[in-house]
Amino acid sequence: MLGALVTLNKKMDDLNKNQIILLALLISFVSSVATSIMTYSLLVEAPPTVTQTINRVVERTVETVVPQQTRDVVTREVTVVVQEEDLVIGAIAKNESSTIRIFNNSSVGKTFSGLGLLIDTDGTVVTGNLNVAGGDPNTFFDALLPDGSTVRLNYLRNSENFSFFGLDLPAKELEQVMKPTVLGNSDNLQLGQTVISMRGEEKTAVSIGRIISFVRSPEDNKDSKFTSVETDIPLWSNGGPVLNLKGELVGVHVGVEKIFVPSNILGLEKIS
């Protein structure tokens, strides 16, 4: 044994620096492997209480080196798939509190005139043109609000396509039962785009369709791309809102089947 050590010592004297480092690494590697094998063998034969104690020591060591908060932070990328059905439901919900039902009270009796939409916080309501100025002077209009209550509508004026009314309701009470609809930019509408139409005298009904054409004549207002839009929606109510999938008002039905007047025209006629 002593002779082998002397021989090894003489051979190491012949090694250069790099060879000595490589030899040291080899010895370290072999020692690590041998230690791992021995440790595994001892743990396999050790009683359960010993292995449990070792596991606790390892867990506490990890908790000390790596804080709990750091170990618990996991970044995950989640893909959210939004269905068209969800968008439709959301759009309707946004506008139910903006929609009223308008009833004409005249010498003939009470009749349903159509839907109306609250378009500002001042209580201004718009519906399709009801030709109020040329009708029965004894006519007055009531509004059935979303909460089921009824209030009088004060006639403001007619425009080419619309009739404008004011809700006879204090501002604070109005805020509690209604909120204005959000006007979208109808110039951004595209052929084939999905639109939602709301209608109904006694309860809200919904139709979902697509834009199939845009209409514009040479004498139409040059401030808008088009003055009417055709859809494949067969059922409608006068004054019924037409919404995009964001829940924005992009048009209003005004008395022609499958046709609505875009919201940008409504904006122009409101301020004219």
Give residues with Cβ within 8 angstroms of 253, minimum separation 6.
Answer: 128, 197, 199, 236, 237, 238, 239, 240, 242, 259, 260, 261
Distance (Å, whole) CA 125 – CA 150: 14
Give the DSSP H or E segment for 51: helix 48-65
Q: What is the 3-state secondary structure (H, E, C) of 118-147?
A: ECCCCCEEEEECCCCCCCCCCCEEEEECCC
Phi, psi of 161 (to 5 degrees): -110, -20
pLDDT reported for residue 170: 92
What CA–CA distance (Å, rounded) separates 208 from 193?
11
Domains of the chain: 2-72 (no CATH), 85-271 (2.40.10.120)
> Mean pLDDT, the chain, as a whole number?
82
pLDDT digits (tens, 9 = 90+) for 124-151: 999 999 888 655 666 789 999 999 999 9
What per-residue confidence (pLDDT) applies to 55?
65
Residues of the chain with pLDDT under 50: 1-2, 4-6, 8, 62, 70
Supply the pLDDT for residue 209.
96
